[in-house]
Structure 1
């Protein structure tokens, strides 16, 4: 029988003993199965990587691996490496169910485990002068690391496919006021690949309570008040309780709710009240028995900037070498298609509002800027942006290179010169920057990028507000692993021609 008492946050509640709800266990059995598949795949990838390294380095008939003390049995050396590698993956918690399904942290932990293991092996080899064949180790590391990352990505694609068919989803019961709950529900509904489905909501009070709440064109059922969360969990068969109004519940009620949920296979998550801040900037610290969320300020200077700049320049140089033939072909096509220069030097604003000239392949007629004013009535861009789906100023070759974002490749020269980054916020026009308010101006704290979250999330199809939110999210939570994921997603977005015009 559900407890129908009026909720009073000032009165501590005693935890109620509830029966175990087996429907929750059945609905979440896929989590265990997914982790088991990951564990077996990790083992197969590591065994395969070590076997390939041994075969390439020592040949099929080799039974011994040379080292400083003589010769060690190849099977023993390979077995020790395999066991150590798998132990490193577990030690770095690469199978933590909280991170294996979304975000970049899963990939980051895999890379950390791999490089930590081989760093430790290098130090042991140096200290004890084992002189184990370095070619064997040098081959196993990249093959295994790439294989592990690829296998994790493939399993994510499989999971995303399942979620698109409304399977393997977390059933979320939201607990909070409408003002705090609706933004969470909207974000979750907009990203079904994250695997969350909001099945209901519990509101603070009963007075004037409605039967459902409309969010994004969907009706979310109202199950009760804060005092009826546990009975609502049973009724909705929820697997996750998301609290968005912790301050309204109070400390005693939050503690009681966590006790009530102990007997159920249900996760409890609490929205901290800040948006687009995640990763290493957030840390929970207990102070006088209270868990306080410590949010560190973004770090744009020092080692972080040096590391990002080094990766940018090395990456840009490598890409330019590979794409040199493409540059030549595009340059010839532009010259033959229309009169004018091959490149277009666009005025842009970079880090700390510093102006620079951005390189692009010319995709429009030479007098495009002078004709822009007459086209403002047909502007399809979001916010202060000017965009047209069928811009008459675009040349025939320009339409093709824009469709595949080839016109932006010369920005690699800006990356080499240090005015841009491979990944970052969209490089704005001077007239755009003049209209920025204090919040939007935070985009200028880092270098603009050739690609970014805005590029892999819809590009020209995004609203102005969503573009700003994605740029600010990147600025607030930058990491090397996030850059790598964005670059990978950019290739997919360009091939699919998503939002490009």
Structure 2
């Protein structure tokens, strides 16, 4: 229970509300303190003061179980359907050069827990070594997301599988393992998470997703503020119908190639 006064626009209150609800707990606050966007508020007649209980129904256990079942069943179906495509991509990646077919990288997941994310490799095997020099050359050392429209590290087949998002098909196995969801915030690197402010760190209250508001809102064309707004909006307002809508919109975005490079 929060009984002290917190300013209406306080990031502390917004972040606390998201964190408490996502962890399956209940947040009680006096009516004079309540200002929690996206929450349903229930009034209780406490003997000493009127109290509002803030609830985010989407974080109820039953809803989370349904989301997990939805992720698991749809991912298994997609793997079965997309297996021939994945075999074809694997062949093309291997034929172009002798590097590994699958790119593995540590990302940060739910509640800050690290996991290994899978993608079809779209860059040269020595791409990581060149990242620091490229970031400095293009004055992008302070960017949360380092991406270049004309990245010299990307292979020929890499350009194609990035534009069509085929490189991300391997992440279906991350969803099956439970590290990711079909829909959620973009899976972040540890170096990015270390720079999050108090409010933006609440994006760690949901599993990262293969797609999400970031992907259907412009992807790499978004600036930092727009990317952060998309992630926080998703955490605060997500629902299963909303996830389905994002998945359907993702098909349109992938066909158009919006913001993919």
Equivalent residues of 1:382, 1:464 under 8 A apart: no
Equivalent residues of 2:219, 2:260 under 8 A apart: yes
Equivalent residue for 1:374, pick from 115, 133, 139: 133
What's the C-alpha RMSD, in Å, of the aligned pairs? 2.5
**Distance in 1 (alpha carbons) for counterparts of 2:75 and 2:197:** 32
Equivalent residue for 1:467, pick from 224, 227, 241: 227
Post-superposition offset of 1:340: 0.7
**Distance in 2 (alpha carbons) for counterparts of 1:283 and 1:295:** 5
Q: Which moved more, 1:373-382 or 1:447-456?
A: 373-382
Equivalent residues of 2:213, 2:234 under 8 A apart: yes
**Distance in 2 (alpha carbons) for counterparts of 1:407 and 1:450:** 11
Equivalent residue for 1:443, pick from 203, 224, 228: 203
Which residue of structure 2 lines up, in the alignment, with residue 395 of structure 1?
155
Equivalent residues of 1:379, 1:387 under 8 A apart: no
Which residue of structure 1 lines up, in the alignment, with residue 249 of structure 2?
489
**Distance in 2 (alpha carbons) for counterparts of 1:298 and 1:442:** 17
Which residue of structure 1 lines up, in the alignment, with residue 215 of structure 2?
455
Post-superposition offset of 1:462: 0.7
Matched, 1:353 2:112: yes
- Tell me the TM-score normalized by structure 1: 0.42
Which residue of structure 2 lines up, in the alignment, with residue 330 of structure 1?
89
Moved over 3 A (4+): 281-285, 292-295, 297-301, 379-383
Secondary structure in 2 matching 1:450:
strand
Post-superposition offset of 1:282: 3.5
Secondary structure in 1 matching 2:182:
strand
Post-superposition offset of 1:325: 0.6
Equivalent residues of 1:426, 1:454 under 8 A apart: yes
Post-superposition offset of 1:302: 1.6
Which residue of structure 2 lines up, in the alignment, with residue 478 of structure 1?
238
Post-superposition offset of 1:379: 5.4
**Distance in 2 (alpha carbons) for counterparts of 1:484 and 1:365:** 35
Change (3 A) 1:441 1:332: same
Secondary structure in 2 matching 1:357:
strand
Secondary structure in 1 matching 2:59:
coil
Equivalent residue for 1:339, pick from 68, 92, 98: 98
Secondary structure in 1 matching 2:119:
strand
Equivalent residues of 2:40, 2:56 under 8 A apart: no
**Distance in 1 (alpha carbons) for counterparts of 2:57 and 2:65:** 15
Equivalent residues of 2:58, 2:239 under 8 A apart: no
Task: Give runs of aligned pairs for residues 127-276 of structure 1, distance below 5 A.
Answer: none
Task: Give runs of aligned pairs for residues 42-81 of structure 1, distance below 5 A.
Answer: none
**Distance in 2 (alpha carbons) for counterparts of 1:298 and 1:381:** 40
**Distance in 1 (alpha carbons) for counterparts of 2:52 and 2:245:** 27
Change (3 A) 1:422 1:494: same
Change (3 A) 1:449 1:382: farther
